[in-house]
Structure 1
Amino acid sequence: MNYKYTLDKSSKKHQCPSCGKKTLVRYINVETNSYINDNSGRCDRESKCQYHKSPKGNEPLVNCNTSFVQQLPSSHNELILGVYGRNYTNNNFISYLLKYFVPVDVKHAIKKYFIGTSNHWYGSTIFWQVDEQMNICAGKVMLYDKITGKRVKRPYPHINWMHKVLKTPNFVLQQCLFGLHNLCDYDNSNTICIVESEKTAIIMSILFPHCLWLATGSKANLKEELLKPIKDYNIVVFPDKTEFRDWNTKVKALEKEGFLISCSNLLENRDLEDGSDLVDVFLTSL
């Protein structure tokens, strides 16, 4: 269903009227491709701000003379993994991993998750989303601080998509769980653990390799559409600190659809900052 107003799909962000950060995605009029002149939009700080104002009168666009054709999802050429699977000395995330783990374990993680390096920002990392059929659905570019391992968010959040970096025309993005391509190496006796952050999935896979660690990439991506390929597995999700209620509600809905899934409250009763995840618990003990 197409609507008159939709969230801007470009990477441009605006100042949020609630938190003041430059993280607001504004609504555009799809007929004129122009921004709406009000505070309508959604803040990307899903947990800390939660600002979301929908425009009034957002009616479905109906055209009796138009036949709707579902767009097929795009994918990157398989050669792209090799093109960007190098130059790890200039990859801040890899430098951070080497502070805690021996090189052989880091090298194994690089191969297992197809970790890439981008020069879009010096030192940035590519997290490729490859599905169970080895389709390269997407590549998320992120910049980390090589010392703290935290995302670089100033002067703006350093996050982008490879199809935008490469200016691939007419790319239809359809995400999958990060790490899903590893499903072939596990059977139904293995537990699948799901976290939000790609960084966390990689680190936890080094610490606890007997489980398959996947990442949603965002809080909102814990949904049936993305979890369908792992429906026959035992699944445990580990929400970030303060996100248990939201993910547990989704888990209960997934249980009704036949998923064998549970939501861990491991982080909720620990003395951690809001937004902390498993890495903040386990890396501090190394």
Structure 2
Amino acid sequence: MIMEYKYTLDPTSKKFRCPRCKMKRLVKFINNESKQYAPSEFGRCDRESACGYFKYPSNNKQQYLPTTESYVAIPKKTISYININVLDRFGNNYNQNNFISFLLQHFDESLVYDAIIEYNICTSNYWKGATIFLQIDNEFKIRTGKVMLFNALTGKRVKKPYPHINWMHKVFNYKEYNLQQCLFGLNLVNKFTTTICVVESEKTAIIMSMIFSEYVWLATGAKHNLKENLLKPIKNYPIILYPDKTEYESWNKKALLFSENNYNISTSNLLEKLNLEDGSDLVDYLFYFNGN
């Protein structure tokens, strides 16, 4: 027998307006048979800490479907990629990149240059001064790129009048794009890698790599994106998770499950012990105590 649910969360990147926080961050439930969305009240807001809205359809009971010899497995969709030429097209104009301008205020130019090369940081004019964080996998194929706008002085994300964040495949208006994300920075992992540190944001991974270069720093891109399918390529390496403040319990629960599957993984609770705002990360901690 195969156990299935009538409804599951929409696996695409499409978002709707959340009933609670009113932001366009709700992932709806979808009927597995009809492929239609459940009513708008049912879904999960991906602002887990700031909002936390999560409502299941009331009739989402488990269904037990009989298997037969005529059962045919549905083939997996082919992963979509973005052409490697985006590196030539967008890997320039760093004097117009707010994130790079911020880094140059705090780090030597040589360190910033190395980070640009290692993480293939790009510049976008989608918003003036925007940055592209490419998700390049361990075969050096580009899964997608995240376009984000930062304040050049503070290094903080621009969230008003709306969160300035988008995906490259959406900017390019690709149709039927099968996005399967990978860890940001995955292309840096090689046979000489010793310990891998995983954080939430791309910005944090880049900055930490300039301070503690003896480790390889990767990012999930979102707090809810700590998933085993993203960690599989680094399963054979020692992994240390550094969740944002208030996320230790959530990430540690997942880490314990991964450990049962032979991952050498641990979770740092450093930020939980410090007098920092909820949602603070390692960069906030370092800049706070260094007075920058």
For 1:263-274, list aligned pairs within 5 A: 263-274=267-278
Residues 24, 44 of structure 1: alpha-carbon distance in 2 compared, 3 angstrom cutoff: same
- The superposition leaves residues 136-160 of structure 1 with CA deviations (integer Å, 9 ceiling, x where unpaired) of 1111111111122111122222211
* Alignment correspondent of 2:10: 7
- Residues 1:174 and 2:174 aligned together: no
Preserved CA contact (<8 Å) 2:183 2:230:
yes
Tell me the amino acid that sits aligned with residue 187 of structure 1: F
SS of the equivalent of 1:206 reads helix
* Alignment correspondent of 1:161: 167
* Alignment correspondent of 2:192: 187
* Alignment correspondent of 2:133: 127
Tell me the amino acid that sits aligned with residue 119 of structure 1: N
CA drift of 1:5 comes to: 6.6
- Residues 1:87 and 2:93 aligned together: yes
- Residues 1:151 and 2:154 aligned together: no
- The superposition leaves residues 186-240 of structure 1 with CA deviations (integer Å, 9 ceiling, x where unpaired) of 525x211110110000000001111100001111222221111111211111010
CA drift of 1:102 comes to: 1.7
- Residues 1:224 and 2:228 aligned together: yes
- Residues 1:245 and 2:257 aligned together: no
- Residues 1:103 and 2:109 aligned together: yes
* Alignment correspondent of 2:203: 199
CA distance in 2, matches of 1:30, 1:88: 45
CA distance in 2, matches of 1:43, 1:12: 9
TM-score (norm 2): 0.87
Alignment counterpart, residue 49 of structure 1, candidates 51, 56, 64: 51
Residues 77, 30 of structure 1: alpha-carbon distance in 2 compared, 3 angstrom cutoff: same
CA drift of 1:24 comes to: 2.9
What runs of 5+ residues in structure 1 fail to find an aligned partner?
none
Tell me the amino acid that sits aligned with residue 257 of structure 1: N
* Alignment correspondent of 1:208: 212
Ranges of 4+ aligned residues in structure 1 off by more than 6 Å: 29-34, 64-67
CA drift of 1:26 comes to: 3.9
Residues 33, 68 of structure 1: alpha-carbon distance in 2 compared, 3 angstrom cutoff: closer
Preserved CA contact (<8 Å) 2:15 2:24:
no
Residues 164, 68 of structure 1: alpha-carbon distance in 2 compared, 3 angstrom cutoff: same
Tell me the amino acid that sits aligned with residue 165 of structure 2: I
CA drift of 1:37 comes to: 4.2
CA drift of 1:55 comes to: 2.8
* Alignment correspondent of 2:25: 23
Identity across the alignment (%):
50
Alignment counterpart, residue 71 of structure 1, candidates 77, 87, 94: 77
Preserved CA contact (<8 Å) 2:28 2:40:
no
SS of the equivalent of 2:240 reads strand
Preserved CA contact (<8 Å) 1:11 1:160:
no
- The superposition leaves residues 61-104 of structure 1 with CA deviations (integer Å, 9 ceiling, x where unpaired) of x9x99973310111111111111101112211111111111211
Preserved CA contact (<8 Å) 1:8 1:26:
no
Tell me the amino acid that sits aligned with residue 242 of structure 1: T
* Alignment correspondent of 1:118: 124
TM-score (norm 1): 0.88
Tell me the amino acid that sits aligned with residue 140 of structure 1: K
Residues 52, 67 of structure 1: alpha-carbon distance in 2 compared, 3 angstrom cutoff: same
